Amino acid sequence: MASANIAVRGSTGLLLYQSTPTFDPVPNFLPEVTLSCKFMLFSPNGKHFAWITNSKVTLVKTSDWKTIVDADYPKAAQLAYSSKGTYLVIYEPFMTTPSNPKGSPNVHIIKTANGQLVKSFEYRDYKLWTPQWSSDEKICARFLNGEVLFYENSNFDNVVHRIKGLKLNNYSLSPGNQSLNVLCFLPAKSGPSNGRLFQYPDFNTIIANKSFFQADRVEIFWNQKGTASLMLTTTDVDKTGASYYGKQGLHLITSKGDTSQVIVNKEGPLYNAAWSPSSNEFCVVYGFMPSKATLYNMKCDPILEFGTGTFNSIYYNSFGNILLLAGFGNVQGNAELWDINGKKKIKKIEIPDTTFLQWSPDGQHFLTATTAPRLKVNNGYKIWHSSGALLHEKPWGKDELFQVVWQNYPQGTFKTPTIVYKAVEGITSSQPIASKQVYRPPHARNSDFKPTSLHEEPSDTKNQSKAYLKMKKKREAKRQAKQLEIVHSNNVQNTITKTNDPIDNEKQLRIKKIQSDLKSINRLKTIQSSGKELDKNQTARLKLENGLLAELKQLQL
């Protein structure tokens, strides 16, 4: 196979393109020309492709692009697949109506082979709605009211095991062909929170336990073999006052029962952590800008320093021999490509206005995209070679581009790519590049101070004038007052007036909650655009915007 296909979803509909070397439309796929295509997803092995348009979910085979199912799901908002792509899961926001005050099942599992509906569940909370499968799909788990329910051999009518009594906030099944492990997060209102590892189906024996004294939320990152996991913990408020956005910690927990904390040597946020596909090492980006990037082994010992830069994101290619470090959002759009085995930098490139990046399954190419609603101008995508050469770009004109994704392929389809240090022949981008110069305050323009991000101030106060220090103090007071105003506004929004109709009241409560979440996301976007740094969890909240808008639209019909 010469190249991987690319699916593109925008304000004009859904299209599929080939990548290198032709970049032509995919033969036999009929474009979906519509204003209302709101989600799309390839199966893990790439054999199926599904999307949501208007009130329908369409599922096709990628071998010939023929339709398997085109079914009515009026409120469909999200899609997910089982581990091997045997099942497609459709999510609809839960709601009640005067004619149906109890609501209806809103999470549906269908077979990808023929579109047959296997099971529907009622799930009132959006959080953790996606069922999780073991890698062989023999075991399926779903979250319900703080418990985890387990099914075996695709029998969704019989709960064979459950984790109960722990009041879980999050959980994750291990991937790979090892014994199935379940990592659970137990938040605590007072005292330490805990991450507990169990081996299925013995939930009375704890394999490993890691306590966190500062953890309101956690993100779980398994390595591909399922032998170890990273837990990125976050507090809503940093009680030390060092950060307005809370405090984070990174912890390692293994299937052998070992636990340890990842120690970083630069103060500031933990932006991202990612496992190498080898499963034996992981990379972490951390620290106030300019941030640092470090490679760690399974003992949490640093084994390679990538230096400092405007990084907040990490991307391994699927073979693990090339690592890409990038900076998105309120930092400069730069990226560095590294030869992991050779421990050498391949190339540094500029990727301005990028909101999305993904490696091709061939491990030799990657795409960058500028998408709405994060950015509504200069939308489009670009395809790059791993040597740093730009090979292709497709501007979206005045239309909006929402989503771009590579098609997945079965393991073994592509061979490990050769590292190329000399850039291959490419093209020059036609897109304008904004000024690279970071704003320098008047008091710093004749000094050696070189800011790396917007609104960064010099840390040395010896040579600063009294007038500047006085003005700085006023600005701090104004920022604090504005943040107090935001907190007060949140409290007002959370005080919801009940309606006389109890059925309509539940719907109105959900609308108010979504509107409050959207306002919070807008505030984060405002903060980000002003130059302040968002942590990984706040960045993740921005990605919820499309789903919330779709749900709000359905509720307001």
176 within a domain of the structure (yes/no):
no
**CA–CA distance, 481 with 349 (Å, rounded to integer):** 40
407 within a domain of the structure (yes/no):
no
**CA–CA distance, 473 with 247 (Å, rounded to integer):** 24
Contact residues for 214 (Cβ-Cβ < 8 A; gap 6+): 233, 235, 239, 247, 249
**CA–CA distance, 413 with 370 (Å, rounded to integer):** 29
533 within a domain of the structure (yes/no):
yes
550 within a domain of the structure (yes/no):
yes
Vertex 19 angle, CA 13 and 25, to 5° = 45
Quick one: what percent of the chain has pLDDT higher than 70?
81
CA atoms within 13 A on the CB side of 30: 5
Name the residue with tokens 């630069």.
266
Name the residue with tokens 């779709």.
550
Task: Please report which confidence band the pLDDT of residue 55 belongs to, taking 50, 70 and 90 as the band edges.
Answer: confident
Amino acid at site 357: L
Confidence check: pLDDT of 12 > 70: yes
pTM over 0.85? The answer is no
Of 485, 468, 477, give the one whose Cα is nearest residue 526: 485
Model pLDDT, residue 361: 95
Of 18, 34, 37, give the one whose Cα is nearest residue 26: 18
Of 22, 25, 24, 29, give the one whose Cα is nearest residue 2: 22
1 within a domain of the structure (yes/no):
no
Task: Please report which confidence band the pLDDT of residue 468 belongs to, taking 50, 70 and 90 as the band edges.
Answer: low
Task: Please report which confidence band the pLDDT of residue 505 belongs to, taking 50, 70 and 90 as the band edges.
Answer: low
Among 148-162, 205-219, 446-460, top mean pLDDT goes to 148-162
11 and 399 Cβ atoms separated by less than 8 Å: yes
511 and 552 Cβ atoms separated by less than 8 Å: yes
**CA–CA distance, 438 with 154 (Å, rounded to integer):** 56
- Cβ neighbourhood burial of 213 (10 Å; 0-12, 13-18, 19+): exposed
Chain-wide mean pLDDT for the chain?
84
Contact residues for 543 (Cβ-Cβ < 8 A; gap 6+): none
**CA–CA distance, 67 with 78 (Å, rounded to integer):** 19
| Other CB atoms within 10 A of residue 457 CB | 15
552 within a domain of the structure (yes/no):
yes
**Which of 5-14, 73-82, 333-342, 520-529 is the least confident region?**
520-529
Q: How many domains does the chain have?
A: 1
Confidence check: pLDDT of 509 > 70: yes
Tell me which residue range forms the domain holding 538. 514-556
Q: How far is CA 401 from CA 10, 404, 487, in A?
A: 4, 8, 33
60 and 51 Cβ atoms separated by less than 8 Å: no
**CA–CA distance, 155 with 12 (Å, rounded to integer):** 40
> Which residues on neighbouring strands pair with residue 77, listed in sequence order?
none
Task: Please report which confidence band the pLDDT of residue 492 belongs to, taking 50, 70 and 90 as the band edges.
Answer: very low
Task: Compute φ and ψ for 135, nearest 5 degrees.
Answer: -60, -30
**Which of 98-102, 495-499, 536-540 is the least confident region?**
495-499
Task: Please report which confidence band the pLDDT of residue 183 belongs to, taking 50, 70 and 90 as the band edges.
Answer: very high
380 within a domain of the structure (yes/no):
no
524 within a domain of the structure (yes/no):
yes
pLDDT average, residue stretch 313-331: 92
The better pLDDT of the pair 425, 500 is held by 425
Confidence check: pLDDT of 7 > 90: yes
Task: Please report which confidence band the pLDDT of residue 489 belongs to, taking 50, 70 and 90 as the band edges.
Answer: very low
